Amino acid sequence: MGRHVYVHNPFCISKCPYCDFYSLPCVSGDKIRAFYKTCLKETEYLASEYKALEDDYPDTVYFGGGTPSYPEESYITELLKTITDSFGIGDCEKTIEVNPSSLTMEKAESYLRAGFNRASVGIQSLDDNVLRLLGRRHDSGGALRALDILKKAGFTNISADLITGVPGESIGGIRTDCIKLARAGVKHISTYSLMICEGTSFYSIYKDTLEDIVSPDQERAMYHETMSCLSDLGFVRYEISNSCLPGYESRHNSSYWEGFEYYGIGAGAHGYLDSVRYGHKDDIDDYIRDFKANVYIEEQMTPEDKMREYPFLKLRTLKGIDRARFSSRFGADIYDVFGDAIKENMTQDLLEESDGFIRLTKKGLDLADLVAESFL
């Protein structure tokens, strides 16, 4: 019986120009306090209303944001305790996202004592020029100090984020970043291509010009070099954007790719319970007034919806779709349902099958969204 809990912490020191997640800079202490008090109430409500979720995967807890390391650590540790007590969650993967600019030794030690055993660090780059362009508040030295703080506090499972395709970024610089992170003890690296999203500061700057500065071919070359370098360093790519040393896969993110249900807590959080995908409005005041009214329904998932979504999710992983698992889960052979899509993508060298798994080819990995959409 798996219980997967995501908490959205919508607070930041400042808003990065590329970020399209719900986050609020410079929020008053009173409002932050009221937000976490409401999160405690929502946690207790969810635990009383919903039984353990039906899957065969270990429990996971993930505090994302925003910047969970920005508020006072007591809010974070109290909420984690309430979550573990209310849901009966024991020893499992418990992740907290941290930013180098707001992490201290005191916070790191408090997180570890409270039960967090995995930290994900928003590094993005170790090139100071790239960091300035991305609007990050830390420099490369600050990023490496944050990793050192986590290690000295006792964290042994540390992940880091990198962004590729940033103007001014170089292939050599990305390789250097990967090597430095590996040497600093990072066990998991998530690599994302810079996305220009409407509503961000970067949208007004780069919406029509980014490809003139960093062509799609350049961006792909950077991304492929990152994957190649990580492989040379012993990292195993297990999902389109994620690589790790053996045994350090993100169990929480993997539960999403399995299509498992999960609890979403906090303004801006999304969840999936009783076959309903739901979200919280991006409105902290509304959430504090009435967290139940803050929730809206995104989609009611029918059994057929779940079956059609499953390949979309599983093709993100390098293992791909397990034909036997698909059959046992949905009571049908995948070729009877998606035979045309599979065969068409195989003809185009985008999919392959071996050892009972259908997965993306090397060519297909660069066109993953297009392949996945053919199953919907």
Q: What's the CATH code of the domain at 122?
A: 3.20.20.70
> Residue 24: is its pLDDT beyond 70?
yes
This prediction has a pTM of 0.95
Q: Are residues 28 and 169 in the same domain?
A: yes
* Predicted pLDDT of residue 155: 98
> Average pLDDT of 312-325?
96
Label residue 50 by pLDDT band (50, 70, 90). confident
Q: Is residue 292 part of a domain?
A: no
DSSP string, 324-365: HHHHHHHSS-HHHHHHHHHHHHHHTTSEEEETTEEEE-HHHH
> Residue 53: is its pLDDT beyond 90?
no
Q: Is residue 304 part of a domain?
A: no
Q: Are residues 21 and 129 in the same domain?
A: yes
* Predicted pLDDT of residue 376: 82
Phi-psi region of 168 (alpha: psi -120 to 50; beta: other; left: phi over 0): left
Label residue 214 by pLDDT band (50, 70, 90). confident
Q: Are residues 196 and 53 in the same domain?
A: yes
Q: Are residues 343 and 216 in the same domain?
A: no
Label residue 54 by pLDDT band (50, 70, 90). low
> Residue 289: is its pLDDT beyond 70?
yes
Label residue 209 by pLDDT band (50, 70, 90). confident
> Residue 253: is its pLDDT beyond 80?
yes
Q: Are residues 45 and 131 in the same domain?
A: yes
Number of structural domains (the chain) is 2
Q: Are residues 160 and 19 in the same domain?
A: yes
Q: Are residues 332 and 187 in the same domain?
A: no
Strands of the sheet containing 321-322, edge to edge, are: 321-322, 357-360, 351-354
* Predicted pLDDT of residue 338: 97
CB atoms near residue 105 (< 10 Å) = 12
Q: Is residue 291 part of a domain?
A: no
Q: Is residue 261 part of a domain?
A: no
Distances (CA, A) of 120 to 72, 167, 186, 264: 18, 24, 10, 19
Q: From 203, 227, 256, give the residue that closes a domain.
A: 256
Q: Are residues 39 and 188 in the same domain?
A: yes
Q: Are residues 9 and 107 in the same domain?
A: yes
Label residue 112 by pLDDT band (50, 70, 90). very high
* Predicted pLDDT of residue 74: 98
% pLDDT > 90, the chain? 85
> Residue 118: is its pLDDT beyond 80?
yes
The full 3-state SS of 221-255, as one line of letters, equals: HHHHHHHHHHHHCCCEEEECCEEECCCCCCHHHHH
Q: From 203, 234, 256, give the residue that closes a domain.
A: 256
R_g (Cα) of the chain, nearest Å: 21
> Residue 210: is its pLDDT beyond 90?
no
Q: Give residue-wise pLDDT tens across range 141-182.
A: 999 999 999 999 999 999 999 999 999 999 999 999 999 999
Domain housing 372? 319-376
> Residue 75: is its pLDDT beyond 70?
yes
Encoded tokens for 290: 């009435």
* Predicted pLDDT of residue 51: 67
Q: Is residue 308 part of a domain?
A: no
Q: Are residues 54 and 201 in the same domain?
A: yes
> Residue 247: is its pLDDT beyond 90?
yes
Q: Is residue 96 part of a domain?
A: yes
Q: From 256, 279, 310, give the residue that closes a domain.
A: 256
Q: Is residue 309 part of a domain?
A: no
| CA-based nearest residue to 272, from 258, 260, 254 | 260
Backbone φ and ψ of 280, nearest 5°: -100, 140
Q: Are residues 376 and 236 in the same domain?
A: no
Q: How much is the mean pLDDT over the chain? A: 94
Lowest mean pLDDT among 89-98, 209-218, 323-332: 209-218
Q: Is residue 302 part of a domain?
A: no
Asked if omega into 66 is within 30° of 0 (cis), the reply is yes
Q: Are residues 30 and 176 in the same domain?
A: yes
Q: Give residue-wise pLDDT tens across range 121-150.
A: 999 999 999 999 999 999 999 999 999 999
